Amino acid sequence: MTRHNMGIHGKKVVWFLLSLAVAIALFGGTAISQEGNGEKSTPAETTQAVASPSFADLITLAAELDKRLSTLEKDLAPGFDPTATEEEFVQFNEKLDVLSSRLQKLKISKRYDSDQLTGLKETILAEGASFDSIREPITERIGKIELWSKEWLEEEKQLKELQSSLVKDASAATLRPTFVKARNTIGKAQRLLASDLKPVLVAEQKAADIQARIDGLLAEVDDYLRLLRGDILQRSAPSMFSTDYYAAFSRGLWEETKKGLGDVSWSKSQFFERHGLMLLLQVFLTLILIAFILRKRSSLAGEQHLRILAERPFSAGVFAGFVTVSLLYGEGVGAGRVVLLAVMSIALVRVVGALIETVWRKRVVYVLVMLFVLHEFLQVLALPLPIFRGYVFLVALMGLCLCGWHVLKSPREGESRFFKWTLNLGLTVSGVILIAELSGYSGLATHLLESALTTVAFVLAAWMLMRLARGGLDFTLCNTALAKIPLLRRNTDVIVSRVARLTDLFIGALLFTYLLGVWGVYDSADEAMKGVLLLGVTIGSLRLTVGFVLLAALLLYGSLLLSKALQSVLTEEVFPRRNLERGAQISMARLVHYGFVLVGFLFALGALGFDLKNVTIIGGALGVGIGFGLQNVVNNFVCGLIMLFERPVRVGDTIELGGLWAEIKRIGLRSTVVRTFDAAEIVVPNSDLISNQVTNWTLSDRVVRR
Burial of 113 (0-12, 13-18, 19+ CB in 10 A): buried
123-127, 222-226, 295-299, 378-382: least confidently modelled range? 378-382
d(CA 491, CA 473): 13
pLDDT tens figures, 211-230: 999 999 999 888 888 877 77
Sheet bearing 654-657, strands edge to edge: 681-685, 671-676, 660-667, 654-657, 694-696
Identify whether the C-beta of residue 424 lies closer than 8 Å to the C-beta of residue 393: no
Q: What is the pLDDT of residue 455?
A: 93
Left (φ > 0), alpha (ψ -120 to 50) or beta: where does 5 sit?
alpha
d(CA 566, CA 601): 17
d(CA 28, CA 588): 76
**Whole-model pTM over 0.85:** no
* Residue 613: partners with Cβ closer than 8 Å, 6 or more residues away: none
pLDDT tens figures, 159-199: 888 777 766 655 556 767 878 888 888 888 888 888 888 88
DSSP string, 169-184: SGGGGGGHHHHHHHHH
Identify whether the C-beta of residue 100 lies closer than 8 Å to the C-beta of residue 217: yes
In the chain, the amino acid numbered 304 is Q
Say if residue 38's pLDDT is above 50.
no
3-class SS at 538? strand
Task: Give the chain's largest Cα–Cα span.
Answer: 141
The percentage of residues in the chain with a pLDDT greater than 70, rounded to a whole number, is 80
d(CA 585, CA 591): 10
Q: How confident is the model at residue 33 (pLDDT cuts 50, 70, 90)?
A: very low
CA 492 vs. chain centroid, Å, equals: 30
DSSP string, 146-175: HHHHHHHHHHHHHHHHHHHHHTTSGGGGGG
Q: Report the DSSP pairing between strands 654-657 and 536-539.
A: unpaired
Q: What is the CA radius of gyration of the chain?
A: 42
d(CA 208, CA 196): 19
Say if residue 291's pLDDT is above 80.
yes
Buried b / exposed e over 242-276, threshold 16 CB at 10 Å, is eeebeeeeeeeeeebbeebeeeeeeeebbbbebbe
51-55, 294-298, 503-507, 606-610: least confidently modelled range? 51-55
Average pLDDT taken over every residue of the chain = 78
Query: CA triplet 139, 141, 144: central angle to 5 degrees?
Result: 110
Higher pLDDT residue, 454 or 538? 454
Q: Could you tell me which residues are beta bridge partners of residue 544?
A: 537
Q: What is the pLDDT of residue 409?
A: 72
* Residue 43: partners with Cβ closer than 8 Å, 6 or more residues away: 49
